[in-house]
Every structure is written in C-alpha cells, then in structure tokens.
Amino acid sequence: MAKFNVKNPSGFPEFAPAAEQKRQEWLQIISTAFKSFGFIPVTTPVVEREENLLGKGGNAKEMYVLKRLLDEEGDKSHSGNALRFDQTVPLALYVARHQNEITFPFKRSVIGPVFRGERAQKGRFRQFDQCDIDVIGMEKLSLLNDAQIPAIIINVFKALQIGAFRVRINNRKILTGLFKSLGIEETKMKATLDIVDDLEKLPREKILSAFTENGFNQAQVDKILEFVSAESTDFEALKTLCDHDEYLEGVTELQTVIEALEAMKVDKNFYQIDTSIARGLDYYTGTVYETTLTDHPEFGSVCSGGRYEDLASIFTGKKMPGVGISIGLTRLFSQCLDAGLVKPDRSSPTEVLLLAADEVALPNLLSLGSDIRAAGIVAENYLETKKLAKQFDYADKLGIPYVVVMGEQELSKNIVQLKDMKTGEKDEMAFDEVLNVLATKGL
Amino acid sequence: MAKFNVKNPSGFPEFAPAAEQKRQEWLQIISTAFKSFGFIPVTTPVVEREENLLGKGGNAKEMYVLKRLLDEEGDKSHSGNALRFDQTVPLALYVARHQNEITFPFKRSVIGPVFRGERAQKGRFRQFDQCDIDVIGMEKLSLLNDAQIPAIIINVFKALQIGAFRVRINNRKILTGLFKSLGIEETKMKATLDIVDDLEKLPREKILSAFTENGFNQAQVDKILEFVSAESTDFEALKTLCDHDEYLEGVTELQTVIEALEAMKVDKNFYQIDTSIARGLDYYTGTVYETTLTDHPEFGSVCSGGRYEDLASIFTGKKMPGVGISIGLTRLFSQCLDAGLVKPDRSSPTEVLLLAADEVALPNLLSLGSDIRAAGIVAENYLETKKLAKQFDYADKLGIPYVVVMGEQELSKNIVQLKDMKTGEKDEMAFDEVLNVLATKGL
C-alpha cells in the first residue's frame, strides 16, 4: 500500500469537529449581524485575473497563481489567473462588472477564504476566512454610514461572547491636519501615520528614533506625542487644540459619527474616541476603526477598517467612496481557541437524539424523528444496531442535550423516556406528548 | 490609465445581486435541511496535497496546482499543493486526520467550492459549489442510513420550490446480481453498468451497438433490456425474476430502505424504485440515487449518490463504509435561472427600510431602526441626503417589502407612515406602535 501523508498542507487549517461546530456558530452569528442591517451577501470566485489583483495592490511575492497539472492541450484560458488575497479587490471588480445592476449605496457583505503565500508560522495562515462589510456610494456617501459600522461591529462582538471589547474610533483627518499644522510635509504623511500607528506596539525609544530618522524636530515630536496621549474625547476641547482646516474637518466628522451612534442607542461601553489611531493603509481617508479585546490586547486589532475615497476607479472609471471593516475570522477564532475564550462543548447540531432500546420500536421512532424535525428541532435517529449504553455514549460524545428512548416496554404502553443529558433528569411521557414537552424545554 | 479587463476569468462564475440573493436563499435552505437531520457542517481547506488528490482518483488533466507568482525565496512548502476537485477526497482526508476526535457514525455536511480545469463551456464551470452529505461508519453502517438520504433530498427539493421532482432509488446489487446470473463476467460489470446508465440518454441503436461491442449475446441483451424496462416495484414479484444471491440481497436491501422511508412518513409522490438506475462511478456498491425534475429531464440528475464500502482505506488504513449524495449547486442554480424556475425578485435581505422625509426626523428613525433590528427584523436606515422619491426608488429597485417614512410633520405628531410596497397600501401609526404593526404583517 502506498504511504500517503494525509496532513493538511502547511498554512491551510481546518478544525476538529467540536471546534468546527463552534466556528459554524460564529459564521452564523456574523452573517446574521451583517444581514440584520440589510447588507447583501455576495460571493465572488476565489480566482481572479492575475493582472487585476496585481493592479490593485496585490503583493506578487505572496500571490498564488493557478496552473493545470498537465497542460498538454494548449488551452491558454487556464493561465493568468490567481487566488484572491483579500475581499476588497474582488468587491471592486464585482462593482465594475455589475455597475448597471447595482443600486447605490451598495451594502455588500462577504464571508470567505482568501489566500496568501506567506511563510507558514503560528497564527499566519495561507488560506483564511475574511468577513467583510462595505458600503459603496456612487460619487458620494453619507458620513452616517461611518456611524453604522461600529454599531454592527458591536452587535457581532457582543454575540460572539468572547469577553469585553472596545471599538476605537478616530478620523484620519485629525492626525493629518495636525501634522500639516506642524509643518510636516505631505511626503512624510504616511511615515508619520505609521509611527503613530506603532505607538502602542513599540517601546518609546524606537518611536523617538523613528521620528529622528524622518527628520522631525523636537517641537514637532513633543506636540504629536502630547496630542496622541491626551485621550481627548470632548469635541469642544478638541477644536481648540489646532486650527488647521483639515484637522477641524476631521473633528466635525468624528462628532457627526459619534452623535449618530448615540441616536442609534449604541451602548457607550463598547466604543470610544481614540485620536491616536491611524491604521497603516494609506487607503483610508477619514473615519478609522480598531477593535481590541480588553483582556487580550496581545491579539492586536480583531476588527479594523475605515472610510476610503476611491474603491477602484482604475476598474470602474468612477469615483466610488466607501466605508468598511474586516474581521480576520480564522486568526481570531484560533486565538480564542488557544486562549480558552471559545470552549467547544458539542460536535453536532443535534438537539434531540432518538434511541431504540429494542429494534421493534424503531419504526415509531423514525416517525417521531420526522415529527420533531417538522417542528423545527434538529433531531436525529440513532440507526446502528448497538446496545443502549453504546447509543448513549454517542449522545454523550457529541454533546447532544436531549435523548428520547423507546423500547419494547415503552412501545407496549405507547410512552417514551426523555433524558436531559446535562442534568441526568428523566421523564416518562405519552408518545403523543413528546413535542409538547420539548417545547417546554425551550426547543 | 492602464486598461484592465475586469471580466471574471472564464469558468469562474458569479451572479448579479438579485440572482445572488436567491442563491443565498438556496444555501440557507440546503444547509438548514442538512442540519435538521443532525449533519455536522465541516469545512476543509480548498487546497490539498497533490499526491493525495491524485491517489484517490483525481484527474491530472483537470487538476489545478498552486504556484507562487514569485518563488525566489526557495520555500518548498508552497509547492506540491492543488485545488480539490470534489468534496469526497477531502472528507476521506479529514476522517484520516481526525479519526480519534470523530464519533462514528460520522454525519458530515459540506457546502463549498471545488475546482476542475475543464474546457470552459455553457453549464461547465471551473469553480462550482458542491453540497454534499455523507454518513461514514467505522467498519459497518446500518442500511437505515440509506433510507434517510432520500428523506433529506426530498426536504431540500420541496423547499427549493423549483417544481415537481422524483428521487429514483435502486440497489446496484440488483443489476450486478442479474448480470452475473446471465453469465456476464466480473471484468465486464463496469461496462455493462455504464451501458445501462446510458439507456435514457442514448438512442436505442447506440445502446445495442455498445452491447455488441462488448460481446454480449442476444439472450443477455434481451434479458437486460426486458428487466430494466419492466419498472417493477413489487418486491415479491422482483424476487421471482432472478435467483442469484447478489440479486436477492439487493432486492432485500432495497425493500429495507423503502420500508424505512414509509416509517419516516416520507410522501410517496417524491420517490420511486427504479431498477434501471446504475450510476456511473464504480465506487458505489449498494443503494444508488438519482433525482430528476419532472418537467426538466434535460437537466439530467440534479442530486445523485449512493452507498460505498470503502471511503478511503488508502488514507485511513480502515474500512469505512458510507452513504452520501451531492448536489451540484452552481450548475443547478444556473439551469434554474436560465429556465425561469428561479425568479430573482429582490436584491437585498432588508424587510423594512426607514426613510427620512426631512433630516430632522433622522435621529428618531436611527433609534427606531435599532429597535426593529432588536426584534429580529432586517431593517435598514436610508442614510443619504436625497429627495423622498429617490429614496423610494432605492426600496423599489432592491425589492424591499415595507417602508417607514417620517418627516417634520410626522415628527411633530409623533407618528410614522408605513407603506406596503407590494400593495401600495399606506398606514399611519404612532411611533411606538410600529413594532406591533410589523408583527401583524408576519415580520
């Protein structure tokens, strides 16, 4: 027998049944939250033209291209394609392809795999799921959309139940306006934002030397550090700190976003203004977001995004501003598993398992199983010929909460036994009463 | 500006928003039906080791392998991987990897893309979604699982509402037993099954010449054609037609399956015995299924599968029998779109759209939007500054069923207008009454 290495390829993860069951619950939570705000789930192919991916910021060193194993037919249509590395470029291409079928503002959500040929290491995957939402406007897009985004993030993270978290909100214009007022040139804007972005991650001497390397003077450095450490959240106070137009525009935009969040009655414990947030990508032009787990700052930002002015005019020929966020699901889920924030407690969606103590009861149990499913409850008949103890083992191992048992005796009396697998409690009831009793259990 | 070809690569389909919305509904229907029987959704990476895919029947000519666009780092871990061509080999590998974490029988479902480097043509895709369920036993697996499969298929196709359909069920042993009783050698079994499989697709002369080419005598051909055209569905009658052990075993197995379907109270209009069904793959050893749309026989089988004795002992070293089916979602969905069986009528999941006739009403509407969502209804605030007619256009184009409108006047009276977009009917109600009224609309 040939010996196969069955391990999954390095960097292409999968999860054992119990963890996978939890992951499926996460997918359900995230997609439900996205949908509840009217986002349209859109799936695009995982394969796009190489030139389009490269044209819009794809890193050639990390890009996987497709080849046919045997390409003897000379069919050129198989070459020139690559696996997508994010969900934003495919969104831009989708919008370009379907401009005339799309009603703007276009609210699209997506949950699906992206691929990066990175060096495999812990927490770095070559295939991982990204969960994105974006609102795309034609020519313009109301700032109120920037307020809706944190409301959605908060719904998601409340539902995931992985502990305290905080969405931190800023407006990039506040920082760039401030930098400009300090005489920092346009060409150094990106470098300055990057340094500010690293403030929490790097030791102070590294930050200072980064400033020095970029030729900042002491006054500029002092002013920047003073500003970002002030944790100002009072808009009137913020407005007095700098009078640069772009700075003031940023403060006003931020204020609009926060006021809309208040109108939406979003709990203030879950978000805060943080004027030190920059976000690395030069893509962003206004509102930016970061989300951190309060008890796990080492996870870094678990959900980030922001406002951008140009989705992809190179593909569409039109100016389409947008605002969006992304959750790196595979990474976050793995981190939560490792940190014990997610506790896989069952490896099956089954709520009720039906066991035949004697084969003669099976037809009635098959019929009952159909009835329970028709009532919208996940119900499974155990179909193998095994001793009852072994059948209970199956329920135990999968973490199934309720078990219905029927044997010759029960059949003769037209009753069943119902066992609550958590409490061990047993009930006896008429065959016709099972559905009513399950309803009282909240099923 | 560089000119980009934004078209999706040939054979890698995607759908415009309205069709995509329908496709999402299909995904929901199929995954809910799979789950209701206790199947565990398991996602595996789309990338597997090339040698494993080839080792278990992968067609090298259709296989896509991954290369990094720039591979200057000499990191060998990126090579030797390929895209999966079906969901069965990944299942076998998953079982091999997680044998000790899996409780058998293992009921797994999967919905996800597979890849085949075929010549692109209408109805043939290079990336398409397959929806599979399989039950895998350790060493053995009860025949009752074979009965559950059609019950699930029927639930799916009833819910999809694409017209009348029929699941046709046979047992491969009936055919192979019959062939053996006619003196047909083991080596010709596969060829004979293939000819029978083609009976409905090819003209009679092609069938007859196929028999001749394979060296069958007239008596054998007559007997085979007589049998498969008899449409026998009476088990006692079937048992008299041939006395070969394997044939009789097949009839008994088929009878067990049909009796269990009756016990599950599955509607007989949706399934039938069809002793002419063979299914091409030599993989199958017992029960086989095909599903056809009554009014669209040209679609071919839209859901097929069967019982197999060996999932993949080459990977697991163990005998694991299974039974499963597969729906080629992308193809079926495209066929239904083309045939008008699916009518995309909305391109958004939004049930209630909230419109501000005057900006002053917006904060109240933002608050109301949050309340409606908290009640589990998909609700969206229109956030752009547009005239009311333009806002209604948005609801119209997306097919949103209900619209709430509030302007200065309504605000002063603390009321809103509710419009049913289908009937055009308008209602006026107190702001606090909106949720109650929506509940009466079945939301």
Interface check A164 vs B, CB under 8 A: no
Residue B247 lies inside a defined structural domain of this protein: yes
Residues B179 and B279 in one domain: yes
Select the more confidently predicted residue: B118 or A122: B118
Query: Which residues of chain B does A96 touch, with a Cβ-Cβ cutoff of 8 Å?
Result: 6
Q: For residue A307, what are the β-bridge partners?
A: A323
Residues belonging to chain A:
443
Asked if residue B9 has a cis previous peptide bond (ω within 30° of 0), the answer is: no
Residues B431 and B365 in one domain: yes
Record the tokens describing residue A89, joined without a space: 């470029």
Select the more confidently predicted residue: A119 or A38: A38
C-alpha B437: how far from chain center: 37
Residue B3 lies inside a defined structural domain of this protein: no
Residue A206 lies inside a defined structural domain of this protein: no
Share of chain A above pLDDT 70, in %: 98
Residues B283 and B387 in one domain: no
Residue A44 belongs to domain spanning? 17-163+295-338
Q: Is B310 exposed, middle or buried (0-12, 13-18, 19+ CB in 10 A)?
A: middle
Query: Which residues of chain A does B111 touch, with a Cβ-Cβ cutoff of 8 Å?
Result: none
Interface check A67 vs B, CB under 8 A: yes
Res B1: pLDDT = 47
The values of phi and psi at residue A417, to 5°, are -100, 140
CA distance B153 to chain A (A): 14
A371 pLDDT band, cuts 50/70/90, is very high
CA distance B206 to chain A (A): 29
How far is B421 from B423, CA to CA, in rounded Å? 6
Sign for the CA dihedral angle at A185, A191, A194, A199 comes to: negative
Residue B345 lies inside a defined structural domain of this protein: no
Asked if residue A349 has a cis previous peptide bond (ω within 30° of 0), the answer is: no
- pTM (two decimals): 0.94
Give the CATH number, domain containing residue A420.
Answer: 3.40.50.800
Mutate to test the interface with B, among A3, A6, A402 (most CBs of B within 10 A): A6
Record the tokens describing residue A441, joined without a space: 């259990």
Contact B370 A4 (CB under 8 A): no
| Number of helices (H), then strands (E), in chain A | 16, 16
CA distance B136 to chain A (A): 12
C-alpha B161: how far from chain center: 14
Q: Give the torsion through C-alpha atoms of B237, B238, B243, B248, to 10 deg.
A: -130
Res A1: pLDDT = 47
Report the run of H or E that residue B229 belongs to, with start and end: helix B218-229
Residues A391 and A309 in one domain: no
Q: Helical H runs in A8-143? A: 17-36, 50-55, 88-98
Residues A376 and A333 in one domain: no
Sign for the CA dihedral angle at A430, A434, A438, A439 comes to: negative
The beta-strand segments (E) located in B3-154 are: 40-41, 47-49, 64-68, 81-83, 106-115, 127-136
Residues B45 and B156 in one domain: yes
Query: Which residues of chain B does A392 touch, with a Cβ-Cβ cutoff of 8 Å?
Result: none
Residues B164 and B36 in one domain: yes
The values of phi and psi at residue B148, to 5°, are -70, -35
C-alpha A370: how far from chain center: 35
Residues B83 and B196 in one domain: yes
CB A103 within 8 Å of CB B84: no
Distance linking the first and last C-alpha atoms of chain B: 49
Mapped onto helix, strand or coil, the DSSP state of residue B323 is: strand
- Give the nearest partner residue to B69 out of A60, A102, A120, using CB atoms: A60
Residues B387 and B255 in one domain: no
Residue A176 lies inside a defined structural domain of this protein: no
Q: Helical H runs in A339-426? A: 362-374, 388-398, 408-413
Interface check A28 vs B, CB under 8 A: no
How many Cβ atoms are within 10 Å of B265's Cβ, its own excluded? 14
How far is B144 from A424, CA to CA, in rounded Å? 29
- Give the nearest partner residue to A69 out of B38, B63, B266, using CB atoms: B63
> Above 50 in pLDDT, residue A179?
yes
Res A355: pLDDT = 98
Buried-state track A49-87, b at ≥16 Cβ within 10 A, e below 16: bbebbebbebeeebbbbbbbbeeeeeeeebeebbbbbbb
The domain boundary residue, chosen from B295, B316, B338: B338
Contact B4 A315 (CB under 8 A): yes
The domain boundary residue, chosen from B338, B362, B389: B338
Give the CATH number, domain containing residue B69.
Answer: 3.30.930.10
Share of chain A above pLDDT 90, in %: 77
Residue A238 lies inside a defined structural domain of this protein: no
pLDDT digits (tens, 9 = 90+) for A11-55: 999 999 999 999 999 999 999 999 999 999 999 999 999 999 998
Interface check A94 vs B, CB under 8 A: yes
Q: Specify the DSSP class assigned to residue A296.
A: B
Contact B14 A44 (CB under 8 A): yes
Q: Specify the DSSP class assigned to residue B39.
A: P
Question: Locate tokens 């949050």: which residue?
Answer: B370
How far is B173 from B246, CA to CA, in rounded Å? 6
Record the tokens describing residue A146, joined without a space: 């920037």
From residue A338, give the alpha-carbon distance in Å to each of A23, A310, A335, A397, B88.
Answer: 14, 38, 5, 22, 30
Contact A264 B370 (CB under 8 A): yes
Q: What is the ipTM of this complex?
A: 0.94
| Number of helices (H), then strands (E), in chain B | 16, 16
Contact B81 A264 (CB under 8 A): no
Interface check B144 vs A, CB under 8 A: yes
Q: Helical H runs in B37-124? A: 50-55, 88-98
Query: Which residues of chain B does A140 touch, with a Cβ-Cβ cutoff of 8 Å?
Result: 384
Closest listed residue to residue B37, CA positions, set A137, A91, A376, A301: A376
Using 50 as the pLDDT threshold, list the residues of chain B that sit under it. 1
A74 pLDDT band, cuts 50/70/90, is low
How far is B288 from B272, CA to CA, in rounded Å? 12
CB A111 within 8 Å of CB A78: no
- Give the nearest partner residue to B349 out of A12, A38, A373, using CB atoms: A38
Res B76: pLDDT = 76
Contact A103 B49 (CB under 8 A): no
Res B234: pLDDT = 87
How far is B83 from B63, CA to CA, in rounded Å? 7
Q: Helical H runs in B242-384? A: 245-263, 313-316, 329-338, 362-374
Return the top range by mean pLDDT from A116-130, A146-160, A199-213.
Answer: A146-160
Contact A52 B103 (CB under 8 A): no
Report the run of H or E that residue A210 belongs to, with start and end: helix A204-213
Residues A301 and A413 in one domain: no
Res B61: pLDDT = 86
Closest listed residue to residue B365, CA positions, set B377, B379, B386: B379
- Give the nearest partner residue to A45 out of B12, B62, B70, using CB atoms: B12
Residues B388 and B327 in one domain: no
Query: Which residues of chain B does A101 touch, with a Cβ-Cβ cutoff of 8 Å?
Result: 16-18, 347
Starting at the edge strand found earlier in the chain, the sheet holding A81-83 runs A47-49, A81-83, A64-68, B64-68, B81-83, B47-49
CB B168 within 8 Å of CB B149: no
Res B2: pLDDT = 57
How far is A207 from A175, CA to CA, in rounded Å? 17
Contact B101 A64 (CB under 8 A): no
How many Cβ atoms are within 10 Å of A435's Cβ, its own excluded? 14
pLDDT digits (tens, 9 = 90+) for A372-404: 999 999 999 999 999 999 999 999 999 999 999
- List own/partner pairs for B88-91 with CB under 8 A and 24 or more apart: B88/B56, B88/B132, B88/B134, B88/B311, B88/B324, B89/B48, B89/B52, B89/B53, B89/B56, B89/B57, B89/B58, B89/B312, B90/B44, B90/B45, B90/B48, B91/B42, B91/B44, B91/B132, B91/B134, B91/B136, B91/B311
CA distance A339 to chain B (A): 20
Query: Which residues of chain B does A50 touch, with a Cβ-Cβ cutoff of 8 Å?
Result: 69
How far is B351 from B360, CA to CA, in rounded Å? 24
Q: Specify the DSSP class assigned to residue B124.
A: B
Residues B359 and B333 in one domain: no
What's the total number of domains in chain B? 2
From residue B117, give the alpha-carbon distance in Å to each of A126, B332, B354.
Answer: 22, 19, 47
CB contacts under 8 A, A 241-280 vs B, are: 260, 263-266
- List own/partner pairs for A223-231 with CB under 8 A and 24 or more apart: A223/A178, A223/A182, A224/A178, A224/A179, A224/A182, A224/A192, A224/A196, A227/A178, A227/A275, A228/A196, A228/A199, A228/A275, A228/A276, A229/A276, A230/A275, A231/A274, A231/A275
Buried-state track A89-105, b at ≥16 Cβ within 10 A, e below 16: bbbbbbbbbbbeebbbb
> Above 50 in pLDDT, residue A63?
yes
Interface check B87 vs A, CB under 8 A: no
Distance linking the first and last C-alpha atoms of chain A: 49
Res B229: pLDDT = 80
Residue B436 lies inside a defined structural domain of this protein: yes
The values of phi and psi at residue B322, to 5°, are -155, 170
The domain boundary residue, chosen from B310, B338, B366: B338
Residue B155 lies inside a defined structural domain of this protein: yes
